[in-house]
Structure formats: structure tokens, C-alpha cells
């Protein structure tokens, strides 16, 4: 796509968005409409059904095992350990009226994100110990709330609506999301009511022309708009829908840096862009304007094509998108940290992508989520779940002694709980995203079920007309491409089963009762319409040959280098496996079609909980060596001083 066309699309998108949001005001209604008997069982995926083509299989209707289940299960212990970190201390001090701990940016939001994640985990596990902590944290938040609804536990923040901090609305957005999750998990309304008091106060301040809204709010951190939409759906108070639309409209129309946020990044903060676009997609699901979705899909395609790393990460210029397309450096040398690919940026982009799937369930959306989930996101988190990286550069080599990962030293080790980074947005986003992850695996519509992500799991879901769909999936994915999907319903039922055939898979085969083994096209959902009876089995085989991915000629940093991948996982060379500096390694000259012959994968069941290592023929200072690669998402789990690189120079390639 040439730059003029891109610019035209984004300007058109901006104009359309501004007009839509201006027209789509609704009449205010201040009466909360909570009906406890009607509380649905879903967690994070509470978008409007008005325009959604699919709904997620809700958290209470799914059991996740397999690899994803193992990682999801560790979230509970991680959350409990988080309570020993500085995160709750700011509220504890405020509630007791004692000296606040050291000031930390947007620290209130960290506890709200803890609570949101904890509520999803409680929905799934019913863990009583966790519930006691949820109750205690909820009490603390309500205790700290001022009479007029305002909440700020950081009593050492200089003033309300602090224009220097610029996070008042962002923090509120996270409380709204936590309050909605709390309501769904506990059926209690007290935190939802506290969140409503705060939202009502903010709307009053806006109506009273509080200058924060004219000077600072539009340069704030997006999240508020999305949180308000969720609060609207939980409470039925249309004021919140209206206010969310008003702020989104202003974010899209104001002159200044934020105008760039809708231009697919355009040098802007990647987390803010992700939350803003997720909010806009959510607003489409409420309002249903087709011209809005046209532009959102264009923005998504642009980000995915021009601004996403091999790991699915976004945010290549510090915490921002680059102003230029295809500007994807593997590390930053001009900074005291490796400072790119923030964990939160990928979570925010997944939130946007998930809503795009709800709007139009094309397989490209879950191809992208899978890539980011397995590589960037799970790779950011320690294998035991008890720590995370803030930045996730593709390459970590050389003298790292004076570098930090957002204040945490050493840079090439994760900050482990109960310690957290100076700003702890990433660890807390890991908690809430991991809590919500079960709802990403399956979706359904009136015709049947979509399988989006493969991990051993079971679902039991009713369709609109009452048909009940029971499915059981068995697989060793992401390490093995064999997947069995069994219909477990007691009554024979006709429905449509759609199975995502990943785009990375060049040879996929399938068979089911009455259908001999056949190959199927990848990068699509395979649709099987039939009458299913109990025990009917679909067998999928996604071949996972080792792939050598050649450089994207548009990306300067990629030139002369290749990346190895197997299935959805990208691999790296880590210093733990070789006796030479990883940056001196070079892959021998070979073509992608020779890789099957020359590169070997071997399964190590006891290494890093079970991984394949790849043995790649390489050179170091012209001497032949074996380059031993491991999946990038398990890097930095054997040492606090490991070095690694995903992209490897290849002999004979032009740099």
C-alpha cells in the first residue's frame, strides 16, 4: 500500500469516525438497571450482541487443560504473590491514614487490574482463599473513595486531576473494568456502585467544564472509553455510553498528537493506540455503523502488515509505534534499556483484535492472536508465572551491565514477584489477560461453534435455539500438530463446526466419520456442517516442519538475517546452549526448502517443562558449529544473565 493511499484511508477514517460519534448520541438515563438474576456467566467478553457475529464461549462453560491450561492455572499463585508486592500497599496506607509509600505512576490502576484478573480466576476456580482477598481489596477501594465519588489512593499525588500525571481517566477506566468483573464473579453490586459514583462525578465535572477535560483529558492514556462501555453494559446507565462516545469523538477530532492515534499508530504510544482502537471496535459493536468497521479493518491490516514483529509484538520505537511503516529494529542501543515491544502493547492489540473477531470472524484475527499469545505474551511471563518482562526486544546481546528493564536490573532477567517494575502495568496486565484467556479459545453463533485456539479443553455451550454443544479437544499443541475434537453431547445434534487452520501451516489434513482424510486450505476456518452424535471425532493434523523465514525486504533490521520457527513458535539462539557469544553465530548458506533435510528438531521432555530444540548448521568465525535453538517464549528461564537473538545472520545474504 503506498503512503498516499494509506494517508487517504486514515483521513477518511477520521472524518467518518468524527461524524459517527457526533451523530450517535443517546438520551441520558441515570437509573441503574442491574438485575442480579440476569447476570451472564462470561468474564471479559461482554461486548454488545447487537452487531457481534460471534460470542465467546463463556468462562463458566469451558475447562482448559493442555499447555494453555497449565499456564492459566499458575495465575492464581501469581496473583496471591502479587499481594505481597508494593501493589496493594498504596491502598492499605490510604485506608489506614498512614504515610503513603513511594509515589508510583498510576499505581491505583495496578490494584484494579489485579482485582479484574482475580475475579476471572475466581469465576473459574471458586477458590475461597482468593475470594477472601477479593473481598478485602474491594473493601479497601470503597474505604478510600471520597464522598463525591473521586478515588485516588496515592495521597502524595499533588492534586486531583493532576495535569502532570495525566492518568486520572486511565485509572478510572481500569476500576470500571475491575468493578464489572467483580460484579460478574461475585454477584455483588457494591464495587459497581462505587465505580458508578466515580463515573457520575467525572461526568458532572465534564459538564461543569473542569478544565482538565479541555487541556489534559485528550492527551491522557486511553482505556477510559472502553471501561465506560463495559460499565454501561453492566449497569444499563446510558450516561456512560454517551460519555464514552463523547470522549472518543474528542480523541478523534482534537488537533494535536492524539489525532495520530487513529492513524494506526503514527508515532503514538502503542498501548494507548491499542486501547483506543479496542474501544472504537467496542463502540461499533454497540452502534453498528458499517462505514466504521471498514476503516477499523484497514487500520488493523495496516498495523499487522507494517508494524508487527515476528513475535507478534507491536511498539517498535520505545513504547510507541514508529512514525514509519516497516521500522522494526530488533533492539535499541540509544537508550539505557532495550526499550521496545512493551508487554502491555501486545495485550492492548489483542483486545482490539479480539473485538475485530467478534465483528467479523475471519481466521486472520486469531492467527495474529496466536502468534502474539505464544511468542510475545507467554514469553514475557516467567514459566512459573511469578514474574514478567516489561520490554521484549528480539535481541539481547553485548554489554548489558548498565541496562535496565523499566528500572529493573539485570535487563535480561524478569522482574520476579513480589518485586515489580517501577511502573507495574505489564505484570498486572499479564494477570488480567491470563484470567480472561479461557474465553479466547472458542466462539459460537446461531449455527454452531468456532475453535480459535488449540489446547486440550472441554466446552458445554447452548446455542440461541437451545441446542447444546459439548466438545472435547485433546492435543499437545503448540508442540505437536495433532488435534482431536470429539462431540460429547448426549443428543445427536446438527450444527456447524468451524476449525481454524493456522496460516503458518502449509499442509493440514482432516478426517471425520464418513469423510476420508483430505488436505485442507490453511489461513481459513474449515467448516463442517453435519449431524453430530456422541463420540463423533474430527482428527486434524497440522504438519509442523521447521521453517526458515526469510527477511522481509521492507524491514532494514531484518536484512541478511533469518528466523527459525516450528508451528506457532519462533525460536532463538540462547547463550545457555552454546559456548560462543550468540551475536557471532551465522547460519550456513541454505535455502528454505533444504531446511527439512539439514535442521533437526529433538524433543527434550525434562528441559523447560518439555520443548523441542533445533539443531541448525552454523558458523562462528568460519568454523562449523551446531546452533542449538530453543522456543523464544521459554528464554531467560535458566539464568539471570542469558543473552539471545531471534534473528540470525545467514552466510551469503546481503546485509
288 CB-side CA count, 13 A = 6
Of all residues in the shown chain, the one whose CB is closest to Zn ion is 344
Q: Is the dihedral of CA 366, 367, 369, 374 positive or negative?
A: positive
Residue 539's DSSP bridge partners are 484, 511
Whose CA is closest to 23, among 261, 289, 255?
289
The strand pair at 493-501 and 448-451 is best described as: parallel
Alpha-carbon span 520 to 538, nearest angstrom: 13
Query: CB under 5 A: which stretch of 279-287, 305-313, 338-346, 450-458 binds Zn ion?
Result: 338-346
Alpha-carbon span 569 to 376, nearest angstrom: 10
Which is closer to Zn ion, CB of 264 or CB of 426?
426
Which is closer to Zn ion, CB of 62 or CB of 111?
111
Query: CB under 5 A: which stretch of 341-349, 357-365, 487-495, 621-629 binds Zn ion?
Result: 341-349
Q: How far is the CB of 425 from Zn ion (least distance, A)?
A: 3
Residues 6 or more apart whose Cβ sits within 8 Å of residue 623: none
Q: How far is the CB of 198 from Zn ion (least distance, A)?
A: 23
Which is closer to Zn ion, CB of 397 or CB of 427?
427
> Is 144 in contact with 6 (CB distance < 8 Å)?
no
Query: CB under 5 A: which stretch of 202-210, 244-252, 366-374, 417-425 binds Zn ion?
Result: 417-425
Q: Kindly tell me which residue out of 303, 344, 396, 562 binds Zn ion, with binding defined by CB under 5 A.
A: 344
User: What one-character-per-residue DSSP string does 398-450 give?
Assistant: S--TT--BTTBSSTTSPEETT---SS-HHHHHHHHHHHHGGGGSEEE-SSEEE
Place of cell 551469503: 652
Q: How far is the CB of 332 from Zn ion (least distance, A)?
A: 16
Whose CA is closest to 181, among 95, 104, 115, 228?
115
Q: How far is the CB of 390 from Zn ion (least distance, A)?
A: 6
Which is closer to Zn ion, CB of 426 or CB of 459?
426
Which is closer to Zn ion, CB of 136 or CB of 335?
335
Which is closer to Zn ion, CB of 405 or CB of 576?
405
Q: How far is the CB of 179 from Zn ion (least distance, A)?
A: 21
Which is closer to Zn ion, CB of 271 or CB of 565?
271
Maximum pairwise Cα distance, the chain = 75
Q: How far is the CB of 426 from Zn ion (least distance, A)?
A: 4
Q: How far is the CB of 562 from Zn ion (least distance, A)?
A: 30
Count of residues touching Zn ion (by CB under 5 A):
3
> Is 525 in contact with 565 (CB distance < 8 Å)?
no
Q: How far is the CB of 119 from Zn ion (least distance, A)?
A: 20
Which is closer to Zn ion, CB of 375 or CB of 443?
375
> How far does CA 240 lie from the centroid of its chain?
25
Q: How far is the CB of 27 from Zn ion (least distance, A)?
A: 38
Which is closer to Zn ion, CB of 119 or CB of 344?
344
> Is 185 in contact with 178 (CB distance < 8 Å)?
no
Query: CB under 5 A: which stretch of 103-111, 161-169, 326-334, 418-426 binds Zn ion?
Result: 418-426
Q: How far is the CB of 642 from Zn ion (least distance, A)?
A: 22
Query: CB under 5 A: which stretch of 52-60, 171-179, 365-373, 423-431 binds Zn ion?
Result: 423-431
> Is 564 in contact with 549 (CB distance < 8 Å)?
yes
Which is closer to Zn ion, CB of 405 or CB of 536?
405
- Residue 351 in contact with Zn ion, rule: CB under 5 A: no
Alpha-carbon span 247 to 213, nearest angstrom: 9
Alpha-carbon span 451 to 483, nearest angstrom: 11
Query: CB under 5 A: which stretch of 28-36, 340-348, 542-550, 568-576 binds Zn ion?
Result: 340-348
Residues 188-207 that bind Zn ion (CB under 5 A): none
Output the CA–CA distances (angstroms, integers) from residue 35 to 4, 122, 237, in the order listed: 51, 21, 13
Q: How far is the CB of 415 from Zn ion (least distance, A)?
A: 12
Q: How far is the CB of 175 from Zn ion (least distance, A)?
A: 18
Which is closer to Zn ion, CB of 281 or CB of 344?
344
Query: CB under 5 A: which stretch of 32-40, 110-118, 336-344, 546-554 binds Zn ion?
Result: 336-344
Which is closer to Zn ion, CB of 51 or CB of 426?
426
Output the CA–CA distances (angstroms, integers) from residue 574 to 264, 338, 397, 413, 641, in the order listed: 33, 17, 10, 13, 10
Residue 494's DSSP bridge partners are 531
Alpha-carbon span 616 to 344, nearest angstrom: 33
What cell numbers appear for 10 in the block?
486514515
- Residue 425 in contact with Zn ion, rule: CB under 5 A: yes
Q: Which segments within 119-261 are labelled E, that is strand? A: none
Q: Kindly tell me which residue out of 310, 381, 426, 471 binds Zn ion, with binding defined by CB under 5 A.
A: 426
Query: CB under 5 A: which stretch of 71-79, 256-264, 332-340, 342-350 binds Zn ion?
Result: 342-350
Query: CB under 5 A: which stretch of 91-99, 420-428, 603-611, 633-641 binds Zn ion?
Result: 420-428
Q: How far is the CB of 260 from Zn ion (least distance, A)?
A: 20
CB atoms within 10 A of CB 48: 18
Residues 6 or more apart whose Cβ sits within 8 Å of residue 626: 615, 616, 617, 618
Which is closer to Zn ion, CB of 47 or CB of 391?
391
Which is closer to Zn ion, CB of 166 or CB of 447?
166
Alpha-carbon span 372 to 395, nearest angstrom: 17
- Residue 87 in contact with Zn ion, rule: CB under 5 A: no
Which is closer to Zn ion, CB of 284 or CB of 377?
377
Q: How far is the CB of 105 from Zn ion (least distance, A)?
A: 11
Residue 496's DSSP bridge partners are 448, 529
Burial class (CB in 10 A: 0-12, 13-18, 19+), 646: buried
Q: How far is the CB of 431 from Zn ion (least distance, A)?
A: 12
What cell numbers appear for 218 in the block?
485528550
Q: How far is the CB of 424 from Zn ion (least distance, A)?
A: 8
Residues 6 or more apart whose Cβ sits within 8 Å of residue 289: 20, 24
Which is closer to Zn ion, CB of 351 or CB of 425?
425
Residue 52's DSSP bridge partners are none
What cell numbers appear for 597 in the block?
533435510
Residues that bind Zn ion (CB under 5 A): 344, 425-426
Amino acid at each position: 500500500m503506498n503512503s498516499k493511499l494509506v494517508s487517504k484511508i486514515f483521513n477518511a477514517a477520521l472524518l467518518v469516525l468524527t461524524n459517527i460519534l457526533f451523530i450517535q448520541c443517546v438520551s441520558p438515563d441515570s437509573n441503574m438497571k442491574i438485575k442480579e438474576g440476569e447476570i451472564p456467566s462470561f468474564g471479559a467478553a461482554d461486548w454488545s450482541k447487537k452487531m457481534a457475529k460471534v460470542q465467546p464461549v463463556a468462562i463458566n462453560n469451558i475447562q482448559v487443560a493442555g499447555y494453555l491450561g497449565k499456564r492459566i492455572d499458575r495465575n492464581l499463585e501469581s496473583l496471591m504473590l502479587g499481594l505481597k508486592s508494593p501493589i496493594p500497599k498504596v491502598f492499605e496506607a490510604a485506608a489506614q491514614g498512614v504515610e503513603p509509600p513511594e509515589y508510583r505512576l498510576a499505581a491505583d490502576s495496578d490494584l484494579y487490574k489485579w482485582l479484574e484478573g482475580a475475579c476471572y480466576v475466581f469465576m473459574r476456580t471458586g477458590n475461597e482463599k482468593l475470594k477472601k482477598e477479593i473481598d478485602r481489596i474491594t473493601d479497601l477501594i470503597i474505604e478510600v473513595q471520597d464522598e463525591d465519588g473521586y478515588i485516588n489512593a496515592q495521597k502524595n499525588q499533588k492534586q486531583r486531576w493532576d495535569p502532570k500525571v495525566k492518568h486520572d481517566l486511565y485509572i478510572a477506566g481500569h476500576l470500571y473494568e475491575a468493578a464489572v468483573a467483580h460484579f460478574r464473579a461475585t454477584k455483588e453490586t457494591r464495587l459497581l456502585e462505587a465505580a458508578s459514583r466515580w463515573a457520575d462525578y467525572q461526568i458532572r465535572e465534564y459538564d461543569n467544564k473542569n478544565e482538565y477535560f479541555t487541556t489534559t483529558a485528550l492527551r491522557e492514556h486511553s482505556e477510559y472509553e472502553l471501561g465506560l462501555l463495559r460499565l454501561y453494559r453492566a449497569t444499563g446507565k446510558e450516561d456512560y455510553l454517551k460519555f464514552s462516545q463523547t470522549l472518543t469523538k474528542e480523541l478523534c477530532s482534537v488537533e494535536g498528537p492524539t489525532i495520530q492515534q487513529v492513524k494506526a499508530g503514527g508515532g503514538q504510544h502503542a498501548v494507548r493506540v491499542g486501547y483506543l482502537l479496542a474501544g472504537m471496535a467496542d463502540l461499533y459493536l454497540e452502534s453498528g455503523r458499517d462505514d466504521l468497521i471498514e476503516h477499523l479493518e484497514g487500520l488493523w491490516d495496516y498495523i499487522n502488515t507494517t508494524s508487527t514483529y515476528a513475535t507478534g509484538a507491536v511498539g517498535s520505537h520505545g513504547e510507541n509505534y514508529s512514525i514509519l511503516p516497516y521500522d522494526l529494529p530488533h533492539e535499541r542501543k540509544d537508550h539505557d534499556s532495550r526499550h521496545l515491544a512493551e508487554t502491555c502493547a501486545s495485550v492492548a492489540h489483542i483486545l482490539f483484535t479480539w473485538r475485530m473477531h467478534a465483528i467479523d470472524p475471519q481466521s486472520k484475527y486469531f492467527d495474529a492472536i496466536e502468534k502474539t499469545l505464544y511468542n510475545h505474551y507467554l514469553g514475557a511471563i516467567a514459566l512459573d508465572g511469578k514474574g514478567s518482562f516489561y520490554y521484549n526486544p528480539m535481541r539481547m546481546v553485548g554489554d548489558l551491565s548498565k541496562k535496565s528493564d523499566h528500572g529493573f536490573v539485570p535487563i535480561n532477567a524478569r522482574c520476579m514477584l513480589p518485586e515489580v517494575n517501577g511502573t507495574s502495568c505489564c505484570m498486572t496486565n499479564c494477570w488480567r489477560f491470563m484470567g480472561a484467556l479461557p474465553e479466547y479459545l472458542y466462539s459460537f453463533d446461531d449455527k454452531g461453534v468456532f475453535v480459535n485456539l488449540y489446547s486440550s479443553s472441554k466446552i458445554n455451550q447452548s446455542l440461541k435455539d437451545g441446542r447444546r454443544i459439548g466438545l472435547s479437544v485433546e492435543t499437545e499443541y503448540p508442540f505437536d500438530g495433532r488435534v482431536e475434537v470429539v462431540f460429547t453431547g448426549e443428543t445427536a445434534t446438527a450444527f456447524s463446526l468451524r476449525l481454524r487452520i493456522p496460516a503458518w501451516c502449509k499442509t493440514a489434513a482432516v478426517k471425520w466419520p464418513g469423510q476420508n482424510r483430505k488436505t485442507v486450505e490453511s489461513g481459513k476456518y474449515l467448516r463442517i456442517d453435519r449431524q453430530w452424535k456422541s463420540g463423533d471425532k474430527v482428527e486434524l493434523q497440522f504438519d509442523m516442519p521447521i521453517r526458515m523465514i526469510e527477511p522481509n525486504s521492507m524491514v532494514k533490521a531484518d536484512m541478511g538475517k533469518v528466523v527459525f520457527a516450528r508451528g506457532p513458535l519462533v525460536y532463538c539462539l540462547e547463550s545457555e546452549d552454546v559456548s560462543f557469544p550468540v551475536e557471532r553465530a551465522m547460519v550456513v548458506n541454505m535455502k528454505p526448502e533444504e531446511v527439512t533435510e539439514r535442521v533437526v528438531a529433538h524433543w527434550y521432555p525434562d528441559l523447560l517443562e518439555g520443548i523441542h530444540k533445533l539443531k541448525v548448521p552454523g558458523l562462528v568465525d568460519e568454523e562449523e558449529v551446531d546452533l542449538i535453538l530453543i522456543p523464544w517464549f521459554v528464554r531467560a528461564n535458566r539464568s539471570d544473565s542469558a543473552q539471545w537473538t531471534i534473528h540470525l545472520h545467514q552466510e551469503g545474504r546481503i546485509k
